[in-house]
Amino acid sequence: MAELLSRSEMKRIYKQVGELAKEVAGLSDKELKSFPGGPVIHEEILATRGLKGGAKNRQIKYLAKVLRQGPLDEIYLFITNRKGSKLQEKKQSHSAERLRDTLINEAMELNNEFRRNQISFEPDWDSDIIVEIISEYPYLKEKELRTVIYQYVKTHNKLHYRELFRMVKAAVDQKERSLR
């Protein structure tokens, strides 16, 4: 799914990876032996040892840049299993927030377009995004999803906004559990 991410959202993602890099930099030699990262990441982790202050911070930022170049799922899972880190849960919450916002933004744009054309906005609008999200997260029910989005677009009631987040978060968590 091609998401349009704002600059602020990109900064949040970079910050999350930076926190992951900080946790990875603190791994012991024993933990590093079973670490799923490649040899380049191992070298950068070893390079952070013995550094202090600003030099260590720069090295951790560089480590974060190296980490962003590859898939992070295994690394998040490793850190969560080894250190009991909450980074994976935080990442899932941010992912659910992005999905919720993508769904609502699409529906709001369509509602505004329909209003300009004096057409009634109904819960059965055509949406490639909803189809993509449901194919990626089969735990979601399309009718319930459309109903909650429609109710939020029409009323701007935060209860519907929160309910949509709960639904999407549950689907993201369900997918994560099925991958383990």
Question: pLDDT tens across 80-136, in order?
Answer: 777 666 777 788 888 888 889 989 999 999 999 988 998 888 888 888 888 888 888
- Dump pLDDT digits (tens) for 47-84: 888 888 899 999 999 999 998 888 888 888 788 777 66
State how far the alpha carbon of 17 is from the alpha carbons of 84, 94, 125, in Å: 17, 12, 36
Enumerate residues 6+ apart whose C-beta is below 8 A from 20.
64, 67, 72, 75, 76, 79, 87
Give the span between the Cα atoms of 8 and 119, in whole angstroms. 34
